Amino acid sequence: MKHFAFFVMILMLCCCTEEIDVNAQPAQTPETGRTLIAYYSYTGHCSQIAATLADFIDADVVEVQTVAENQDYNANNYQLGRDLLNIINADPENLDSYPAIKPVNKDVDEYDNIIFITPLWHAQMAAPAQTYLFQNRAKLAGKHFGLIVSSHSSGIATVVNNAHRLVPDAEWMGESLWINNSQHPNRATLIENWLETLDFAVNEVPVTDKIYLTIDGRTKVMTLVDNAATRELVAALGNADITATVNDNDFELWGDLGRTFTTSNEYMTCVAGDVVLYSSRYICLFYGSNSYSYTRLGRIEYQSLDELKNFLKAGQNNVQVTLSLNAPTAQAGDADGNGYINMDDLTALINYLLDDNSAINPQGANVDGVEGIGMDDLTALINIMLNETPSHVY
């Protein structure tokens, strides 16, 4: 009987526990929900960190800007920055102590996860960055919060303490990430590793050693070298194609990619087909030769110099080049998928029909559009090569 009573008690306890579990709110994890990247940047490091971070996660990005413009925080041995911090530290619970910032167009309320990126000033969190956190203190309560700090060389312990003071009720996703200025060129790797420690939903960065360049409807394969710039480029192209307007420069077409990439510049002599990065954000597509300090990106596969110049529109300005991870819709007849039609496609199609399907692009090999690849497609391809001369046949 005693045993039975004990059993009933255990059963009741179990039932109670189960009831509590059933009624509990499902815990919100950082892997789900919307993410906001908010940053303040005076000299540009944090803004580059924000851009690199945005390559790896699905997030909206917002910049904190001061109302006071053209401030020289570097002047007089960084005195202005020190003065602003002293005012905050004298009365940190008073909003008036914080330098005014412009309203931003993203509301923290709309997000589950916030990653905040700030410079370090005099061992502390930069004053305008503090304003943003202080203003959003209530909204950040209970939100998943991550912190990245950029400094010249000083350690970030006090900045982390500042953040705990400013947003005491945020739920930290993990350790903060410190990127000092000498590590800045390597930020992509640091950020990727850090995100892994947070168990955060990181975009799958496709593993590829080639991308596609399309100019005026023609596409060519570009083989990538492996470096930080190309890894960032592939990550960025995973989000969206990049189109750059390039202009002729006697030996190259070059133009702005619209954002910076991590450089690993070295003095080199570029030749036709080489693709390099100049000054961290300009793509250079070579059809001639030049020696300079560049970051290598890769090479364009081409058959003859004339064909390469024709593809690049050498000698012209305002040429639109689109970089993409995926080949545009396959052209009928482009069996090897390299963007143009020639004897290689005939060979690829014949090999395919002889049971060797390596290097075949099924869509391109399906020349007549009828399901399946067969002799009809070979005939159709030969007809294209003999009778028609579309602009993409070489």
Ligand X SMILES: Cc1cc2nc3c(=O)[nH]c(=O)nc-3n(C[C@H](O)[C@H](O)[C@H](O)COP(=O)(O)O)c2cc1C
Cα(318)–Cα(326) distance, integer angstroms = 24
| Closer by beta carbon to ligand X, 51 or else 373 | 51
CB of 39 to ligand X, least distance (A): 8
CB of 17 to ligand X, least distance (A): 49
Contact at 8 Å (CB) between 255 and 321? yes
CB of 127 to ligand X, least distance (A): 8
Contact at 8 Å (CB) between 79 and 57? no
CB of 227 to ligand X, least distance (A): 22
Cα(177)–Cα(193) distance, integer angstroms = 10
Contact at 8 Å (CB) between 231 and 205? yes
| Closer by beta carbon to ligand X, 129 or else 167 | 129
Closest residue to bound ligand X by CB? 81
Chain Cα centroid distance, residue 254: 21
Single-letter amino acid, residue 222: M
CB of 120 to ligand X, least distance (A): 4
| Closer by beta carbon to ligand X, 159 or else 222 | 159
| Closer by beta carbon to ligand X, 121 or else 212 | 121
**Structure letter (DSSP) for residue 341:** B
| Closer by beta carbon to ligand X, 39 or else 200 | 39
Contact at 8 Å (CB) between 31 and 201? yes
Cα(143)–Cα(112) distance, integer angstroms = 6
| Closer by beta carbon to ligand X, 89 or else 181 | 181
Pull the structure tokens for residue 57: 């996660």
| Closer by beta carbon to ligand X, 66 or else 338 | 66
CB of 208 to ligand X, least distance (A): 31
CB of 149 to ligand X, least distance (A): 8
Q: Give the torsion sign (CA, 183, 185, 189, 195).
A: positive
| Closer by beta carbon to ligand X, 139 or else 259 | 259
Q: Are strands 171-172 and 144-151 parallel, antiparallel or unpaired?
A: parallel
Q: Outline where DSSP puts E strands in the chain.
A: 35-40, 60-64, 113-121, 124-125, 144-151, 171-172, 177-180, 210-215, 218-224, 242-248, 252-256, 266-270, 274-278, 282-286, 290-300, 319-324
Strand partners, 284: 254, 276
Mapped onto helix, strand or coil, the DSSP state of residue 282 is strand
| Closer by beta carbon to ligand X, 183 or else 318 | 183
| Closer by beta carbon to ligand X, 119 or else 146 | 119
Pull the structure tokens for residue 362: 């099924």
Cα(300)–Cα(277) distance, integer angstroms = 14
CB of 181 to ligand X, least distance (A): 5
CB of 123 to ligand X, least distance (A): 5
Residues that bind ligand X (CB under 6 A): 41-46, 73-74, 78, 81, 119-123, 150-154, 181
Cα(162)–Cα(134) distance, integer angstroms = 10
CB of 80 to ligand X, least distance (A): 7
